[in-house]
Copies of this chain bind each other. A is one copy, B any other.
C-alpha cells in the first residue's frame, strides 16, 4: 500500500496548486469551506503523479469531491478512470464517516435525521412535488428545529451540481439525474451526506 506521510508527499512546501472551475468548486462545500477543492485537486493531482493509476476509486459520500475530480481528469486529459464507490451506512442509515466518532451517544442517535431528511426530499420529488425551493426550506426547518445547524439541504443536477431546471424536476420520474445533498452540524460535528434520486 502506498500511504505516504505528509513529509514524504511534501518534501517541499506545496506552492503549485490546481484550481477547479469556480462553477463547481465554489458552491456547496466550496462555499462553506473556501479553498477546500483547491486542496483536493492539488493533492489528488500529486497522488496521481506518484501512483500513475489506471483506475482511482473515490467514495460517493463526498459527492461533490467525486464530481470535482471527474471533471479534473477530463480537463487535464488524464488517462484515469474515476470510479465512485457507494456510501456505506450504519443499520439506521447514517453514512459511515470517521467523523461519526466525534458524536456523543445522544448525537449519534440524532445523526440519522440527516439521511432521513435527504430521503424525505427524495420521496417528495418522487411524489411529483415540483416546488423544489419550498420542500428544501421545509426540510431545513425540520432539522433546525431539532437543533441542527444546516449549511445546505438541496436538490441538484448530478453532473454539474447546479439547481435543476423546472423541466428536470418534472421529468424526474423518467430519471432526470438529480441528487439531494446535505451538510449540517450537530454540536461541533459537521456531517455531510447525499442520495441520488
Residues of B contacting A158 with CB < 8 Å?
Answer: none
Contact of A76 among B22, B45, B74, B75 (CB under 8 A): B45
Bound Cα distance A77, B72 (Å): 17
Establish whether residues B16 and A76, one from each chain, have CB atoms under 8 Å apart when the complex forms: yes
Q: How far is the CA of A72 from the CA of B21 in the complex (A)?
A: 20
Q: Say whether A12 faces chain B, with CB atoms less than 8 Å apart.
A: yes
What chain B residues lie within 8 Å of A72 (beta carbons)? 16
The reply to whether A75 and B14 contact each other, CB–CB distance below 8 Å, is yes
Total count of chain A residues near the partner, CB < 8 A: 25
Binds B, one of A46-54, A81-89, A125-133: A46-54
Determine if A15 and B75 form an interchain contact, defined as CB atoms under 8 angstroms apart. Answer: yes
Verify B46–A77 contact, CB threshold 8 A: yes
Contact B75 A12 (CB under 8 A): yes
Among A17, A46, A75, max chain B CB count under 10 A is at A75
| Selected contact of A78 from candidates B49, B74, B75, B79, CB within 8 Å | B49
Residues 16-63 of A at the B interface (beta carbon under 8 Å): 16-23, 41, 45-46, 49-50, 52
Select one of B16, B20, B46, B50 contacting A21, CB under 8 A.
B16
Most-contacted residue by chain B among A50, A72, A76 (CB, 10 A): A76
Is there an interface contact between B21 and A49, defined as CB atoms closer than 8 Å? Answer: no
Q: 10 tightest CB-CB pairs across the interface, nearest first?
A: A15-B21, A49-B77, A16-B75, A49-B76, A49-B78, A50-B77, A17-B19, A46-B76, A16-B20, A45-B76
Other contacts beyond A16-B21, A46-B77: 4, CB < 8 A: A15-B22, A16-B72, A16-B76, A49-B79
